[in-house]
Structure 1
Amino acid sequence: MSVPSSRSPASKPRPPLDSVDDAPPASVAPSSRSPASAPVLVIDDSEIAREEVSRVLRSAGFQVLALPSPIGATQAIVRLKARVVVVDVFMPTIRGDRLLTLFRKNQRLGQLSVILISGHSERELEQLKLEVQADAVLSKRNLDRLPALVKQLAGKER
């Protein structure tokens, strides 16, 4: 026997932000959000890495949308009003640094902050950061530093 729910359909809790269709309401302007609550897009072809990066950010209070490839990234960024994107450097469809170059050429994405992540050390990634004008690089071995880095970039005007 089931117990009737006291909740009306309108008061249903929203599921976690897992798809572009679950974007926050357009009435919430990006500048009115605190940096810690700003939506973050994570793009990584590795399911394990994507889930771990998402978990670290969600546990720090960020709304996260995770994509397994760059396909649909521009649409997701615009709909979410994301201010920070975390992109894996080594993906089969397009490298993260090349994707960043495309973001920089797109006027709608001009204020976007991009963090390139990789299994390589940050020391190895520093040259790439300079070449493609990434806002930051981070080794996947140092994900504990990611929330503070995202918060800093989300609150900064680019």
Structure 2
Amino acid sequence: MLSNLVCVVDDDESVRESLRALLASAGYRVIAFSSPEACLESDARRGAGCLVADVRMPRMSGPDLYAEIVRRGEALPVVFITGQPTDEIRARVRDARAVALLVKPFDDEALLDAIEQALVPPS
């Protein structure tokens, strides 16, 4: 199993805090950021085993954040979340080889299952 540190990036404080509480209650260590820029500026994300990122955020999207992390050589499994799934978003998520795209409001178990899948090392 990879690191049980999950990096959450969502500009909506209520979503971010509910994800933090859910993941912590499931035994994960969580670091949460209010923006992709804050995530990129922090060295704390480097120990993460998984990234959970909202797709639509001001200035930088979740897929753009993930592309920048990969460009920096810090690839890690990613789960995207969105309230507005479009064909374009589905294509970008597929291109990023995301573990999952979850549509808000999603079931807690769906997120926990996706994170568990993300943290299993590739065979």
The 3 A distance-change label for structure 1 pair 86 and 122 is: farther
Contact conserved, 1:42 with 1:64, CA < 8 A, in 2? yes
CA apart distance, 1:122: 8.4
What does residue 7 of structure 2 align with? 41
Contact conserved, 1:54 with 1:64, CA < 8 A, in 2? yes
Q: Which has the larger radius of gyration?
A: 1
What does residue 150 of structure 1 align with? 115
CA apart distance, 1:134: 2.4
Mapping 1:124-135, distance limit 5 Å: 125-135=89-99
Matched, 1:73 2:60: no
Measured in 2, the distance between the counterparts of 1:150 and 1:120 equals 21
Mapping 1:105-124, distance limit 5 Å: 105-107=71-73, 109-110=74-75, 112-121=76-85
Q: Which runs of 5+ in 2 are unaligned?
A: none
Q: Greater shift after overlay, 143-152 or 132-141?
A: 132-141
| TM-score, reference length from structure 2 | 0.83
CA apart distance, 1:123: 7.5
Q: Using CA pairs below 8 Å that are at least 6 residues apart, which structure has the higher relative contact order?
A: 2
| TM-score, reference length from structure 1 | 0.66
Partner secondary structure for residue 141 of structure 1: coil
Partner secondary structure for residue 117 of structure 1: strand
More strand by share: 2
Matched, 1:62 2:7: no
Identity over the aligned pairs, expressed in percent?
Answer: 31
